[in-house]
Amino acid sequence: MKQKHIGIRTILLLVLIAILALVPFWIKTPYILGIFVTTFYIACGTIAWSILGGLTGQTSLGHAGFMGLGAYITALLTTKAEISPWICMLIAFLVVGLIASILMAPCFVLSGAYFSLVTIAFSEAFRNLFINWEYAGSGQGILIPIKKGFWWMRWVSKVPYYYISFFMVILFFIILRSIDHSKLGFALKTIREDEETAKAIGINPFKYKFIATFLSAGLIAVVGVFYANYIGYINSDIMDHSYSLNYVMPAIIGGVGNIAGPLLGSAILTPLSEFLSANLSSVANGLNLIVYAAIVIVVILFQPNGIMGWFAHSRFKKNVNQKLDAVNVKLFKMKPTENEE
């Protein structure tokens, strides 16, 4: 039986988590910490998107709408009813997940570009609703009052937001990995590869797409709750479908369908976007977006399966596995994998 590099990989993962947990002790600059926070919540949104777009193969371009719903739920409940954002996370997960799955249920027969267009339509519908809803601030949006403390998820320092978003990344990744290795994940990936085959072996596509939509929309609504309290102000612009690309592109660059892809893509694209914006915007307006788009296009053209897709079939991976085998044999007395014996 093929053995995995459990020992050394677990140690490396724990070391990485420990290093990231200590970052605020080494870096005091709010701007740099802000980049980390942005990277973390974008990674969470990308992971949420990957449940529907990666595992199930239903490419949604409307997840900004679901994220915005979560943000508005916490903004309204916090300002109107004085409900803690922590409770709002649970409410947003359940309410937005249910709304999204019910609204999109009739569209599960669609696939490809047709499904994507429908999700854009839903996102725009939500945005126009809040633009014209006076109770929700109309086009002016909602300013969340400053009530400092853990219960209200509001601090002047970015350090608490760093740790909350960092914990969210870990939690979201555990959820995605658990789904990927479960019966649910098997059903979703079967539907992604061949829906007719899935039906033939007794998998109900409607049922599992409903579940995937509920989880995907619900989780990104939780990201919206965090975002609203981190920024302290929201308006309907966050529901614009173009913002959905913030969660789609990292998955594409990292590798759609690979559970590590969203993390890797977010870790690359978000800091890159911030760097280009800080250094090229002053040179020429929009130059940072042109360079960013060019880099993304080049990666997609030469590595359409993303970085993790390339890594999975590369000689580099084989060399890494051989070295990990050697370390495991020395430290943990593990046998090498069968492919390399």
Q: Which of 42-51, 152-161, 238-247, 280-289 has the lowest mean pLDDT?
A: 280-289
For the chain, helix (H) and strand (E) counts, in that order, are 14, 2
**pLDDT surpassing 60 at residue 341:** no
* 230 contacts 162 by C-beta, under 8 angstroms: no
**pLDDT surpassing 80 at residue 269:** yes
Tell the burial category of 218 from Cβ atoms under 10 Å away from its Cβ (0-12, 13-18, 19+).
buried
**pLDDT surpassing 50 at residue 92:** yes
Specify the pTM.
0.88
Assigned token pair, 242: 């173009």
How far, in whole angstroms, is CA 282 from its chain's centroid? 30
HSE-CB for 284 with a 13 A CA cutoff = 6
Q: What is the pLDDT of residues 9-52, one digit of tens each?
A: 677 788 889 999 999 999 989 999 999 999 999 999 999 999 99
Rounded average pLDDT over 42-63: 92
Mean pLDDT rounded to a whole number for the chain: 85
The segment with the largest mean pLDDT, out of 151-155, 311-315, 333-337, is: 151-155
Through-space distance between the first and last CA atoms of the chain, rounded to whole angstroms = 12
How far apart (Å, rounded) are the C-alpha atoms in residues 227 and 42? 10
How far apart (Å, rounded) are the C-alpha atoms in residues 255 and 234? 31
Q: What is the pLDDT of residues 146-190, one digit of tens each?
A: 777 788 888 888 999 999 999 999 999 999 999 999 999 999 999
| DSSP collapsed to 3 states, 305-320 | CHHHHHHHCCHHHHHH
Using the CB atoms, write b or e for 163-183: b if 16+ within 10 Å: bbbbebbeebbeebeebbeee
How far apart (Å, rounded) are the C-alpha atoms in residues 101 and 119? 12
Tell me the Cα Rg of the chain: 21
The larger pLDDT score, comparing residue 129 to residue 285, is at 129
Residue 115's CB is within 10 A of a number of other CB atoms, namely 21
Residues whose CB falls within 8 Å of the CB of residue 198, separated by 6 or more in sequence, listed in order:
187, 190, 191, 205
CATH number for the domain running over 6-340 = 1.10.3470
- Give strand pairing partners of 142: 234
* 328 contacts 7 by C-beta, under 8 angstroms: yes
**pLDDT surpassing 80 at residue 103:** yes
Beta strands in 154-298 (DSSP E): 233-234
